[in-house]
Structure 1
Amino acid sequence: MNSGGHVTISGGGGREQVHEKNHTPGSALAELRARLETGRVRMRLNQTQLAARAGLSRGTVHKAFKAGEPVPTTDTVAALARALGLPVGELLALRRTAADDADGDRAGPGRPVGEWDPYALEVHLAGAILESAGGVERRLLPGYVAREHDRLLAEAVQGAEAGRSRMLVLVGESSTGKTRACWEAVQPLADQGWWLWHPYDPTRAEAALEELHRVGSRTVVWLNEAQHYLGDPHAGERIAAAVHTLLVQPERGPVLVLGTLWPDYATQYTTLPAPGALDSHSRVRELLAGRIVHVPAAFDPAALAKATALAEAGDRLLADALTRARPDGRLTQDLAGAPELLHRYDTASPAARALLDAAMDARRLGVGPHLPQAFLTDAAPDYLTDTDYDQLTDDWAERAYAELAKPVHGKHAPLRRATPRPQRRPPSPTPTDNPTPQTTGPVFRLADYLEQHGRTTRPHLCPPASFWHAAHTHLTHPDDLNNLAQAAKARHRLQWAHHLHHRAADHGSTHALEHLAGLREEAGDRAGAEALYREAAARGDTYALDSLARQREEAGDGEGAEALYREAAARGSTYALVVAARLRERAGDRAGAEALAREAAARGDTGALVVVARLREEAGDAAGAEALYREAADHGSRDAPFLLAMMREEAGDREGAERLARQADEYGDGRTLVALAVTRERSGDREGAQHLYQQAVECGHSRALVPWAVMREEAGDREGAEFLARQAANHGCTDTPVFLVQRRLEAGDWESADRMCQLAVDHGEPDALMRLARMREQAGDREGAEFLARHAYDHGDPDARLFLAWMRERAGDAVGAEALFREAAERGSTQALEGLANMREEAGDWPGAEVLYRKAADRGYEASTALKKLWPFGLDPDGTPTPPWQDGAAGG
């Protein structure tokens, strides 16, 4: 393009056509604003909406469009162009002419800083979240957290702005944020008209060596991965010399040279050679002297706190990464490694992918992070197709593990060998008879990102038979086995659930013994259940004795139950003391009950004293009850002052009740003041109630706003009720607006009800509207129920889809119901699958119903009675019905 020639766009036949046109600064600015305005109108955005889309302030956008205001900055023009889907380079060219920028005709390499995309400068992709601006999708950058090295970078940039050429090289491990730090540092230079040059083509070293002598002033020289330049065996030393010359010639400055290096390269280039050895990096060493800045591998607590604040403010990428990287602080590595890990998973060999699928399923179903190699190897085969399985070689596993061990950014690997830290516990005088078995053989750890990816993409899949067989054969940790047993049961794989529970019990799990005992109870085998409970108790599980005692109590054997509760209490169960005290009190042994209650209180559980006191109160012994309540309060019970206050109120001692309520408030329990207020209100003393509500709110108990607003509504003060409802919602108490929604619907005031609905959803409570919707339907108000459900649906409540689908079904609208069920099912709802299956069943389509019921089972929908009816012995891992098998767990 000739000097002064710029592009302009004119409409023709509904399409944009590009022409060259010479501009003065004034005409260039006018055309720039005209094209921005045309783009805004075409996208039907007002300036406020455009500002939000472009990430700019409303004032900045207003000035960019308004005649008479200064030329907008490079960053502003670039952001607006991207948001409106306009060509960034062309608008920046207009902006340069409008600013009468002499740099528009510069001959040196590079282009304006504002025209560069961070990913073109090798900033790592972070996650898979896309943002759309003007119909153009681009990868979203996570928020940036400045650290100590950013301060040094900022000083270098400021020095360059002041006219002094500077150079810095950031040294750190892979994916520690070096390139992103450089990108953030140069952004202020965009407004100053600086250019940036990234030597790259045909090779980095050749481009640098050929063009360094042409670099003009106010240019950033971008030497990312500087080993490609400075470490080149043929050109590295000459490039170092050329950069040195560029930095020390005042007439060529100011320039800013930024580079990045891994620590190994920095050490290699800066270490003096041994005496007599060839010095291959003398010029590079001189260039780097005093110009290296180290970047830490992990975020320190202060940086993590800043990242957390950005995540809480809505940064989805940081929030996602913090779920995995917070413990070790390697946040940038996680952000950079995620896309590459996903790529490695998608392109893995069939055997390697089978290992990853097995590892993903193990983690999402509850197996601990250290996965035994023997388990993964035996679990993998059924994840392979018949063709891939037939092509396995004898060394398939070794090759697959080697493939998955190759690291990506920041030392991540899809599946890496791990070394569990030994557990170091203080010596116990009474070692357990059943210590947790230790895993033998190598163990592996799945990359956190792939673990999360598996939880997101595989929840609808039930692992194949080889997975369950490998788990039963190789896993030994009771928690792993119990978790898998529960996962199998939830997926109606009853036979595997039974065997995994038994294996967990064999490896010391008292929880598994209790579960098996419960199954024996359900089957009517009381003797077998008791034997299992006693086995669990012998292994130190006092809850097993509690369960056994409860079984005796329910069977009417009070004496046997109490004996077992006492045995559990002797083994340390305070819950057993509470129950035993209750039994003694009901049996008339007040002294025995009090003794057991005091023993529980001495162990830190004041609940027994309160339980006995309430029984005394119910029996009409007010004095005895009050004495025990006071004793419980002296032991620190928060319930006792509340119950005492209620007693005083019922006895007519209003002053004493308020005194006790304030005492309870000192413990942080504001419900007593609220309960007294409710009592006063019911007795007709609204003035006294309002006084107590006010007291509770002033003491910081915002929950008091809820009944207070209700009282105002019932008194006819709708404006006062709404005022209190808004206050309550601002404090997180959304019950009040929901209650007012109900009252307004009952009164036929749909406008006011809509206003209160919006208040509830604005405070993040669409589920409260769903609770009310169910109430309205039960009351026969179908219109009101659907009104509420639609509000919740519009604000993303997944339950609302199901509710509306059921309403449509009950109203006879099968087509509408099915559409809503399918929408909910696509979003992961197992209940929606059951709803669809029910519809298929009612239509006589049993094969279609069974397919849907199987899908629900695969997703872990154990609540469905249809599964038990259809397949009483469960399903095999492949979804076929399990043949009858003899065991109490299956009922066969």
Structure 2
Amino acid sequence: MHDERTGRTPESALAELRRRLEAGRVRGRLNKTQLAGLAGLSRGTVQAAFKTGGKVPSTFTVAALARVLKLPAAELQELRRDAAGGVSGDGPGRPIQQWAPHALEVHPAGPAPGSSGLVEQRVLPSYVRREHDQLLAEAVREAAQGRSRMVVLVGESSTGKTRACWEAVQPLAEKGWRLWHPFDPTRAEAALEELHEVGPRTVVWLNEAQHYLGDRAVGERVAAAVHALLLEAERAPVLILGTLWPNYFKQYTALPGADGTDPHSRVRELLAERTVSVPEAFNTSELAAASSLARGDALLADALTRAHADGRLCQDLAGAPMLLKRYENGSPTARALLEAAMDARRLGFGLHIPQAFLTDAALDYVHDSDSDQLIDNWAEKAYSELAKKVHGKQAPLPRVPTRQQQRPPGSPAPTSNDAAGIQGPVFRLADYLEQHGRSVRRHRCPPASFWHATVKHINQPDVLGTLARAAERYHRLQWAHHLYHRASQHYSRSAPVQPVRIREEARGLSGAETLMLATNLLVRLALTREKAGDHNAPESRHQQAAKDNSPGALVRLALMRKMAGDHNAPEDLYRRAADFGNDFPQLFPHHPPSRMLHRLWPYGLDPDGTPTGPWSAESEALPQGSRGLLPGP
């Protein structure tokens, strides 16, 4: 390109600029190191200004060199403009509109509908403004009015610091501001190299500021250059935004030690009165605002289902994609442990899953082609892999730390590390992966190793009963039989019942329902044995349950005795079942007591409730409606 006004090309203008600068340096008898010190520039910046084939120096570099070398600044700036093709050159960076948030290290939260899931195609959830956003907005307003400002957000990983900075600079994008994110060849080197060239109306993006200010070699020099940029009126306004973890903030702002060492004196001075804290969790009002925005935002709504209790919304949004990647790209054994944990949670396990169970359950989840992964210490390696955290301090399958439960004085000491009676180490599946498992594995039946590990390692009657019903649904009747049998073995009627009654009464349940819940497993065990063709064991199981006056067990046992030819015992059993009539409003709120009595009583009833006759001895079915009294699946 040829300048018709001056007759110069960009190449010739740049060559003339360098010739004049070199002549001034020689005349002043300065080497480039001395020149850099006098001009307040880095040695690399000065080297680049004189280097043949290098980039065009900035207006600020030219002005600083002209001042020290006593050269006509206006002529040199005209040469610089011609060398740059007529572009004024506001220093490093590019317009804010040209930046994508993920290029500035905003954590991706989820894929856009119909996208491939690549980072470039991920969308950002709706933004919920919090208290620190107000302070950021104030700094942005002052910068837009012509005053240089610096704000560093201090908070733990994945608490929304970088996203807050991105949202804050959007008003400046509309005003034509630039943004510069130094990172090549290293962050600290890039910042030191070009901070002297930053011009007005520029956002300096120091995300993860420890990489700039904490660099052992040049961190203090970077801090000094940033401080100088804030104080130089000819380069105002600039806005410097950074983020920092609390442990680095404490390290950089610590006072000198007793030995007099002070490795971060300039950083400490720079950060003074320029930091804003970002809390780890959303407060009640912020969660309410998030819920309102979530009505039109599937990503935000999904995260709120998991984070509404502890308020760690940003951590969930940042960590969820990485957790899924860990699952999808994990080793075969790590995936097997996660899938066993997913199945355990969706089929009825509590939050804490025993390690012994998981290790045995995972065996059949490993494909035959990956069987070579099952070396001697495969489990140790897999658990270690799944304990590594992603964004937001989340791990796919972390071990739950043992905590001593505080109990009232005189209470019996717990016999294990968990209130539910789990022995040994326990693990907890990440909430996002649990939710993912409930969706993608909802129709899958666990393999044999899962059921075997349950029978072998689980001793909680309620969990065993729940899993037995799941085995029935999947038509694994033999496993269901063993699970019901194991549940009945671990249900002890001699155990203290007062705490159970207190808990049940607190939930508004009647005493009869408490007993019915307790004997539910015995009745189910008997029914399962009947389905399997065993016609001897069921009666003994029903007799055990009938000792606790379970209405369903009493009715079923009466039928079995009558079908066996016993015409005396059934009447007594039906009468005992009918004695529960006073509790029917609580047990069966949708049926009036008289109707339920009629279902149990072996006689017909007049309108006034008087028995009229025996129930047909020839019938081989239960009285009409009585199956509703048997525990349902």
* TM-score normalised per structure 1: 0.50
Alpha-carbon separation, structure 1, partners of 2:471 and 2:333 = 25
Report the equivalent of 1:395: 377
Q: What letter is aligned with 2:551?
A: L
State the partner residue of 1:410: 392
Structure 1, unpaired ranges of 5+: 4-102, 594-892
Residues 343 and 538 of structure 1, relative CA distance in 2, 3 Å threshold: same
* Alpha-carbon contact 2:151-2:275 (below 8 Å) kept: yes
Residue 255 of structure 1, CA deviation: 0.8
The residue that corresponds to 2:231 in the other structure is: 248
Residues 191, 429 of structure 1: alpha-carbon distance in 2 compared, 3 angstrom cutoff: closer
Asked if 2 retains the 8 angstrom alpha-carbon contact of 1:166 and 1:257, the reply is yes
* Partner in structure 2 of residue 564 of structure 1: 577
Give a deviation string over 1:484-542, Cα, whole Å, max 9, x none. Answer: 22222222222112211222222226332222233467689898656434534656xx6
Q: What pairs up with 1:21-36 in 2 under 5 angstroms?
A: none
Q: Any conservation in 2 of the 1:223–1:258 contact (CA below 8 Å)?
A: yes
Distance 2:411 2:275 in 1: 56
**Superposition pairs of residues 836-851 of structure 1, within 5 angstroms:** none
User: Which whole-Å CA distance do the structure 2 matches of 1:468 and 1:519 have between them?
Assistant: 16
Counterpart residue type for residue 578 of structure 1: P
Q: Deviations over 1:191-233 (max 9, x none)?
A: 1111111111111111100111111111111000000000001
Q: CA 1:240–1:440 in structure 2 vs 1: closer, same or farther (change >3 Å)?
A: same
**1:309 alignment counterpart:** 292
2:520 is matched with 511
1:384 matched to 2:366? yes
2:300 is the counterpart of 1:285:
no
Residues 580 and 566 of structure 1, relative CA distance in 2, 3 Å threshold = farther
SS of 2:203's partner is strand
Equivalent residue number for residue 751 of structure 1: none
Secondary structure at the counterpart of residue 399 of structure 2: strand
Q: Partners in 1 of 2:212 and 2:451 — Cα distance?
A: 53
Counterpart position of 2:314: 332
Tell whether the 8 Å contact from 2:187 to 2:212 is kept in structure 1 after alignment: yes
Q: CA deviation at 1:120?
A: 0.3
1:81-106 alpha-carbon deviations (Å, 9 max, x no partner): xxxxxxxxxxxxxxxxxxxxxx9743
Q: Which residue of the partner structure matches residue 186 of structure 2?
A: 203
The Cα offsets for residues 8-58 of structure 1, whole Å up to 9 and x where unpaired, read as: xxxxxxxxxxxxxxxxxxxxxxxxxxxxxxxxxxxxxxxxxxxxxxxxxxx
Counterpart for residue 85 of structure 1: none
CA contact (8 A) 1:566 1:577 kept: no
> Match of 1:405, as an amino acid?
A
- Report the secondary structure of 2:382's partner residue: helix
Q: State the SS of the aligned residue for 2:169.
A: helix
* Deviation readout 1:388-409 (Å, 9 max, x if unpaired): 3335332222222112111111
Identity %: 60
Kindly tell me: are residues 342 and 265 of structure 1, through their superposed partners in 2, closer, same or farther at Cα, counting changes over 3 Å? Answer: same
Change (3 A) 1:524 1:573: farther
Instruction: Provide the C-alpha distance between the structure 1 equivalents of 2:332 and 2:463, rounded to a whole number of angstroms.
Output: 26
Residues 1:578 and 2:593 are matched in the alignment: yes
The structure with higher relative contact order (CA 8 Å, sep 6+) is 2
Q: Does the Cα contact within 8 Å between 2:546 and 2:554 map onto a contact in 1?
A: no
SS at match of 1:150: helix
| Secondary structure of the corresponding residue to residue 416 of structure 1 | coil
CA RMSD of aligned residues (A): 3.6
Between the aligned partners of 1:267 and 1:125, the Cα distance in structure 2 is 28
Question: What is the rounded CA distance, in whole Å, between the counterparts of 1:390 and 1:418 in structure 2?
Answer: 29
Contact 1:361 1:463 in 2 (8 A): yes
Q: How does 1:756-835 map to 2 (within 5 A)?
A: none
Flag the 1:380–1:492 CA change in 2: closer, same or farther, 3 A: same
Q: In 2, Cα distance between the equivalents of 1:377 and 1:564?
A: 45
Whole-Å separation in 2 of the counterparts to 1:524 and 1:535? 20
Shift of 1:562: 3.6
User: Is the 8 Å Cα contact of residues 153 and 275 (structure 2) preserved in structure 1?
Assistant: yes
Shift in Å, 1:385: 3.3
Q: Tell me whether 1:162 sits opposite 2:162 in the alignment.
A: no
Asked if 2 retains the 8 angstrom alpha-carbon contact of 1:131 and 1:137, the reply is no
**2:377 & 2:234 partners in 1: Cα distance?**
65
User: 1 CA distance for matches of 2:420 and 2:302?
Assistant: 34
The alpha-carbon deviation at position 479 of structure 1 amounts to: 3.0
Q: Deviations over 1:636-667 (max 9, x none)?
A: xxxxxxxxxxxxxxxxxxxxxxxxxxxxxxxx
Distance 1:217 1:402 in 2: 50
Q: Map 1:708-747 to 2 at 5 A.
A: none
Deviation at 1:161, TM superposition (A): 1.1
Specify the alignment match of 1:545 in structure 2.
551
CA distance in 2, matches of 1:146, 1:263: 21
Partner Cα distance (1:336, 1:104) in 2: 40
Q: Which among 134, 145, 148 is matched to residue 128 of structure 2?
A: 145
> Structure 1 pair 422/501, CA: closer, same or farther in 2 (3 Å)?
farther
Cα distance, 1:288 vs structure 2: 0.4
- Within the candidate set 304, 321, 328, 1:346 is matched to 328
Match 1:367 to one of 332, 344, 349: 349
Task: Report the more deviating stretch, 367-376 or 462-471.
Answer: 462-471
> In 2, distance between residues paired with 1:217 and 1:2?
29
What is the CA–CA distance in structure 2 between the aligned matches of 1:423 and 1:478, rounded to whole Å? 22
How many Å separate the matches in 2 of 1:256 and 1:238?
Answer: 19
Q: For the Cα contact (< 8 Å) 1:176–1:297, is it kept in 2?
A: yes
| Residue identity matched to 1:320 | D
> Partner of 1:727 in structure 2?
none
3-state SS of the aligned residue for 2:428?
strand
What SS does the aligned partner of 1:446 have? coil
Deviations 1:209-263 (A, max 9, x none): 0111111111111000000000001111111111111111122111111100111
For 2:110 and 2:519, locate their aligned partners in 1 and report how far apart those are by CA, in whole Å: 42
Structure 2 residue 171 is the aligned partner of structure 1 residue 188: yes
- CA positional deviation for 1:482: 2.3
- Provide closer, same or farther for how the CA distance between residues 363 and 104 of structure 1 changes in structure 2, counting only shifts above 3 A: farther
Code of the residue aligned with 1:561 in structure 2: it is Y
Q: 2: CA distance between counterparts of 1:248 and 1:592?
A: 100
In the alignment, the residues of structure 2 paired with residue 573 and residue 302 of structure 1 have an alpha-carbon distance, to the nearest angstrom, of 39
Shift in Å at residue 185 of structure 1? 0.7
Looking at structure 2, the residues matched to 514 and 207 of structure 1 have their Cα atoms a distance apart, in angstroms, of: 74
Partner of 2:162: 179
**2:519·2:545 contact (CA, 8 Å) conserved in 1?**
yes
Q: Does 1:501 align with 2:519?
A: no
Q: What secondary structure sits across from 1:277 in the alignment?
A: coil
Q: Once structures 1 and 2 are overlaid, which stretch shifts more, 210-219 or 444-453?
A: 444-453
Q: Distance in 1 between matches of 2:129 and 2:191?
A: 30
Quick one: distance in 1 between partners of 2:410 and 2:558?
A: 34
* Aligned-residue offset at 1:299: 1.0
Aligned to 1:115: 98
Q: Give the Cα separation in 2 of the matches to 1:527 and 1:493.
A: 21
Which of 579, 585, 605 is equivalent to 1:587? 605
Q: Kindly report which structure 2 residues correspond to 1:256-271, keeping only aligned pairs within 5 A, or say none.
A: 256-271=239-254
Deviates more, 1:458-467 or 1:207-216: 458-467
Following superposition, the deviation at residue 187 of structure 1 comes to 0.7
Match of 1:297 among 247, 267, 280: 280
Select 2:219's aligned residue among 226, 233, 236.
236
Check whether the contact 2:132–2:277 (CA below 8 A) recurs between aligned residues: yes
Structure-1 separation of matches of 2:405 and 2:307: 23
Q: 1:47 matched to which residue of 2?
A: none
Report how many residues are paired: 485
Q: Mind listing any 5+ residue stretches in structure 2 that lack a counterpart?
A: 4-85, 413-417, 492-517, 612-633
Structure 1 counterpart of 2:541, one-letter code: L
Measured after TM superposition, the shift of residue 577 of structure 1 is 8.7
